[in-house]
């Protein structure tokens, strides 16, 4: 029995087409009202005096991101953020949301605290403790060294980086002259990516998350010069689980989802020359299956991205990126004799982009702004070069006023078997959303 999980479709395709590497803070009003204007009075002004901003959202999605048959969804959400300075270099930050994913249907609740931390800055030191998003990398939307905090691939949001959420961590940064810094992070808690694993009644999943994390990462960063670059190291648990076959009965299949430790050595660099920005990022990941003998654990692998972004002026920009993955000690899953073990291994290989020894692909995006930058359109796509598979996404946003923003778009995917794109085709979707900011 082949499980046909949709999770890896979202992992690859949404990662290719989503958003920047920065934390999404789109709960800020799209246009700042002039000082003393009426828009800044009343309740909104009081909330902002306390450092509270947010948005109320209503949306329509023709399909969800859970790989089921639900369609024509009404989505309602309330997002809020607290960003307040406490004095003497201290501050508090928190952000989260709550709502309903299908207002007219089963009214599935959605809620999450994305971040909640205390921040302290003194001289050249910056210390932060609490639930926080740690986003590493310099390439656009594809970041091999971004391995510390997870994403929710089921979230219905037009903005890619809003699917990020934090893990409990203590982070300390030391900054000195010429844009140099060293950041160390300790994560005693583990949070995995959230995937839409199938609700097939013939399959039961046991998701075994580590109870004791003991994870850490360190990064040396240089910014502000002719070339910005960094080198990083991460030792912790993999955000993406490995799939293994637990047992099979005459009527049922039992699957284990386990997170194994990985050690990731990463580096990135970026520079701007005239109207062009060049960026490169790469990472080598050592896994617990160092010799590639266990099909239930991903192999050691290399992942690299090279991108070129060009500013065409007149608020028109474009970017194209080449990505490459290589699997060390590669063993094709087709060689596994037991059909049940082979099918589980195939799902694991696709989930982790290890079905082929080498994977080549391209991603591209072009964006344009009009009407004093209140109207923006974006078209993005990705394609595999060694297998048939592609993903397309278009999005349009319009800032109606200093309090209202409209968004809409369409996602489409197609591909051959054993590719993420073929599985994502089930959830191709038309979406439209209105946001009221406070």
pLDDT 10s digits, 174-192: 998 889 999 999 999 999 9
pLDDT score of 27 more than 70: no
Question: Which position has the token pair 């109606």?
Answer: 400
Instruction: Let me know: does 282 contact 321? Beta carbons within 8 Å.
Output: no
Check residue 199 and give its pLDDT. 62
Band of residue 158 on the pLDDT scale cut at 50, 70, 90 = very high
Mean pLDDT to the nearest integer, 293-319:
97
Question: What's the full length of the chain, in residues?
Answer: 438
Band of residue 102 on the pLDDT scale cut at 50, 70, 90 = confident
Question: Which position has the token pair 């080449």?
Answer: 322
Which of 134-148, 398-412, 416-430 comes out lowest in average pLDDT? Answer: 416-430
For residue 384, the SS3 value is strand
Check residue 298 and give its pLDDT. 97
pLDDT score of 24 more than 60: no
Strand partners, 431: 61, 409
Strand partners, 111: 98
Instruction: Let me know: does 11 contact 143? Beta carbons within 8 Å.
Output: no
Check residue 138 and give its pLDDT. 96
Question: How far apart are alpha carbons 162 and 176 in whole angstroms?
Answer: 31
Mean pLDDT to the nearest integer, 225-242:
97
Instruction: Let me know: does 5 contact 355? Beta carbons within 8 Å.
Output: no
Give the pairing of strands 316-327 and 301-311: antiparallel
Instruction: Let me know: does 149 contact 134? Beta carbons within 8 Å.
Output: yes
Please give the backbone phi and psi of residue 128, each rounded to the nearest 5 degrees, phi first.
-140, 135
Share of the chain above pLDDT 90, in %: 74
What would the pLDDT profile of 256-277 be if each residue is shown by its tens digit?
999 999 999 999 999 999 999 9
What would the pLDDT profile of 35-44 be if each residue is shown by its tens digit?
444 445 688 8
Which of 115-119, 386-390, 394-398 comes out lowest in average pLDDT? Answer: 386-390
Which of 95-99, 115-119, 291-295, 306-310 comes out lowest in average pLDDT? Answer: 291-295
Question: How far apart are alpha carbons 128 and 429 in whole angstroms?
Answer: 38
Instruction: Let me know: does 75 contact 99? Beta carbons within 8 Å.
Output: yes
Sheet harboring 253-258: ordered strands across?
A: 203-208, 253-258, 242-248
pLDDT score of 365 more than 90: yes
**Residue 153: CB atoms within 10 Å:** 21
For residue 127, the SS3 value is strand
Give the pairing of strands 242-248 and 180-187: unpaired
Model confidence pTM above 0.95 = no
What are the Cα distances from residue 419, in Å, to 121, 333, 353, 383, 422? 46, 14, 9, 11, 6
Check residue 420 and give its pLDDT. 78
Check residue 10 and give its pLDDT. 41
Tell me whether residue 260 is exposed, middle or buried, using C-beta atoms within 10 angstroms of its C-beta: 0 to 12, 13 to 18, 19 or more.
middle
pLDDT score of 16 more than 60: no
pLDDT score of 25 more than 60: no
Residue 430 in tokens: 């038309």
Check residue 119 and give its pLDDT. 97
CA-based angle 306:312:313, to the nearest 5? 135
**Residue 34: CB atoms within 10 Å:** 10
Band of residue 3 on the pLDDT scale cut at 50, 70, 90 = low
Band of residue 31 on the pLDDT scale cut at 50, 70, 90 = low
Give per-residue burial for 223-244: e unless 16+ CB within 10 Å, then b. Answer: eeeeebbbebbbebbbbbbbbb
Band of residue 198 on the pLDDT scale cut at 50, 70, 90 = low
Rounded to the nearest angstrom, the gap between the alpha carbon of residue 286 and the centroid of all alpha carbons in its chain is 21
Check residue 285 and give its pLDDT. 98
Check residue 26 and give its pLDDT. 52
* DSSP-assigned letter for residue 344: H
For residue 349, the SS3 value is helix
Check residue 361 and give its pLDDT. 97
Give the pairing of strands 180-187 and 167-176: antiparallel
Range 121-125, long-range pairs (CB < 8 A, 24+ positions): 121/89, 121/90, 121/91, 122/89, 124/174, 124/175, 124/176, 125/172, 125/173, 125/174, 125/175
pLDDT score of 368 more than 80: yes
Mean pLDDT of the chain: 89
Question: How far apart are alpha carbons 206 and 36 in whole angstroms?
Answer: 56
Mean pLDDT to the nearest integer, 240-244:
95
Instruction: Let me know: does 319 contact 364? Beta carbons within 8 Å.
Output: yes
Rounded to the nearest angstrom, the gap between the alpha carbon of residue 354 and the centroid of all alpha carbons in its chain is 19
Residues 6+ apart with CB under 8 A from 246: 206, 254, 255, 256
Sign of the torsion formed by the C-alpha atoms of 14, 306, 397 and 160: positive
């Amino acid at each position: 029995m082949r499980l046909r999980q949709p999770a890896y479709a979202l992992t690859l395709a949404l990662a290719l087409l989503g958003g920047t590497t920065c934390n999404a803070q789109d709960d800020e009003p799209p246009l700042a009202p002039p000082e003393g204007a009426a828009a800044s009075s009343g309740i909104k002004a009081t909330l902002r005096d306390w450092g509270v901003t947010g948005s109320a959202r209503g949306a329509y999605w023709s399909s969800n991101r859970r790989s089921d048959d639900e369609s024509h969804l009404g989505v309602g959400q309330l997002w809020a953020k607290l960003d307040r300075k406490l004095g003497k270099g201290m501050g508090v930050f928190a952000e989260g949301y709550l709502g309903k994913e299908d207002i007219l249907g089963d009214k599935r609740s959605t809620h999450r605290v994305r971040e909640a931390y205390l921040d302290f800055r003194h001289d050249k030191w910056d210390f932060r403790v609490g639930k926080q998003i740690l986003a590493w990398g310099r390439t656009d939307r594809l970041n091999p060294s971004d391995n510390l905090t997870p994403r929710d691939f089921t979230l219905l949001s037009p903005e890619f980086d809003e699917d990020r959420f934090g893990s409990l961590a203590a982070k300390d940064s030391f900054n000195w002259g010429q844009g140099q810094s060293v950041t160390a992070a300790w994560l005693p808690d583990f949070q995995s990516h959230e995937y839409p694993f199938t609700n097939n009644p013939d399959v039961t999943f046991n998701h075994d998350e580590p109870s004791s994390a003991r994870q850490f990462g360190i990064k040396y960063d240089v910014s502000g010069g002719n070339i910005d670059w960094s080198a990083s190291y991460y030792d912790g648990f993999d955000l993406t689980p490995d799939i293994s076959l637990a047992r099979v009965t005459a009527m049922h299949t039992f699957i284990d989802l386990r997170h194994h430790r990985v050690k990731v050595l990463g580096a990135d660099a970026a520079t701007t020359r005239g109207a062009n920005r060049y960026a490169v990022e790469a990472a080598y990941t050592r896994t617990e299956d160092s010799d590639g003998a266990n099909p239930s654990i991903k192999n050691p692998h290399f992942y690299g991205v090279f991108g070129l972004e060009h500013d065409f002026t007149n608020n028109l920009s474009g970017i194209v990126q080449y990505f490459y993955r290589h699997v060390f000690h590669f063993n094709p899953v087709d060689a596994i004799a037991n059909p049940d073990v082979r099918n589980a291994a195939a799902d694991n290989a696709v989930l982790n982009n290890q079905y082929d020894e080498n994977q080549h692909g391209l991603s591209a995006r072009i964006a344009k702004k009009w009407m004093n930058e209140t109207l923006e359109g974006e078209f993005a796509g990705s394609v595999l070069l060694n297998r048939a598979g592609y993903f397309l996404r278009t999005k349009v946003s319009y800032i109606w006023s200093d309090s209202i923003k409209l968004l809409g778009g369409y996602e489409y995917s197609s591909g051959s078997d054993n590719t993420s794109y073929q599985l994502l085709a089930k959830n191709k979707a038309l979406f439209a959303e209105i946001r009221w900011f406070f």
